[in-house]
Amino acid sequence: MQTRFSKNPTPLQPISDPLFEKKRIQVWIKREDLNHPDIQGNKWHKLRHNLAAALEKGQTELLTFGGAYSNHIAATAFAAKEYGLKSIGLIRGDELADNPQRWSHTLKLASENGMQLIFLNRQEYRKRNDASFLQTLQERYPNAFILPEGGSNALAVLGFESLMQNLQEQCPQWTHLYTAVGTGGTLAGLVKYASPYSGRKILGVATLKEADYLLPQISQWIGKTEVVDWELLTQYHDGGYGKLSENLRLFKSRFETDYDVPLDPVYTVKAFHAFYQQLQQGEIPPGSNVVLLHTGGLQGNSV
């Protein structure tokens, strides 16, 4: 299997700030944005085992769902091309169908990478997880391997096993791990494959409003095996999915200048900002070793 995925572990980059010294903590960024030039960050981990399963079953197409700014749509289009598969994206919003000049950078990129885009109105799109709708789709596209929205399923969760082993080797003493949450597949994978350690906690920062509804699904993906504490933080969405206040815009540009690490405007900026908030609120005890997971998503920067 040909892939440009970096077999080498991504860097664990230490960062410094007078605030970290004052609070007596250490902080690193786990640079998963560097794991693959195109299918970057958490999306690559979520796709890997699904791609292998599709090839094993002899399927020739990947079919999936997403909004106009979905990093998963962009990643699936790239992955399909790289693995010699066709790809079909069912996109939320039929107003875009005859209006390619209004397509987002993400949709243009997906289309350039050979993804066939099919636009669904919002009512149709809502059926994306219904068994009967999926059955009809499978009959219509018998050669397609169907991936849910955001690419989150059991095989996606499995993709985080090697990342967590790698982090454990790079920093056995880590205590706090922050990640952004969309569907929660990534958070579930991190929790499921974390090794036990005293005081260890994984914090998922929800990027959408009222994200508590994700909890049952996340718990189900984790299964019975959880050996570390975890929490879904629902108060740091900054106005909702895809919204970015002036305050966070400033945070993003300051962070990028200070550490020379680009952030995406939808996910990593909110996860990293939530960490600073929690630190200031005294939620992180002295002596903690904090890892901020850079989940990628940088293709979305060029909207």
Ligand X SMILES: *Cc1c(COP(=O)(O)O)cnc(C)c1O
Site for ligand X contains 43 (CB under 6 A): yes
- Output the 3-class SS for 134-158: HHHHHHHCCCEEECCHHHCCHHHHH
Total of residues contacting ligand X (CB under 6 A):
21
Residues in the chain: 303
Closer to ligand X at the Cβ: 88 or 211? 211
- Residue 179 bridge partners (DSSP): 204
The minimum distance between CB 301 and ligand X, in angstroms, equals: 11
Closest to ligand X by CB, 89 or 182: 182
Neighbours of 231 (CB within 10 A): 12
Minimum Å gap between C-beta 64 and ligand X is 12
Exposed e or buried b per residue across 182-219, where buried means at least 16 C-beta atoms within 10 angstroms of its C-beta: bbbbbbbbbbbbbeeeeebbbbbbbbbeebeebeeebe
Our CB check for ligand X shows the closer of 63 and 205 to be: 205
Q: Judged by CB under 6 A, which of 67, 150, 159, 265 binds ligand X?
A: 150
**Judged by CB under 6 A, does residue 186 bind ligand X?**
yes
Binding characters for ligand X, 263-302, by CB under 6 A (x = yes)? -x--xx--------------------------xxx-----
C-alpha distances (whole Å) from 17 to each of 280, 283, 295 are 13, 17, 22
Q: Return the range that interacts with ligand X (CB under 6 A); candidates 35-43, 57-65, 111-119, 191-199.
A: 35-43
266 vs 253: CA distance, rounded Å: 14
The residues binding ligand X (CB under 6 A) are 41-43, 71-72, 150, 152, 180-187, 264, 267-268, 295-297
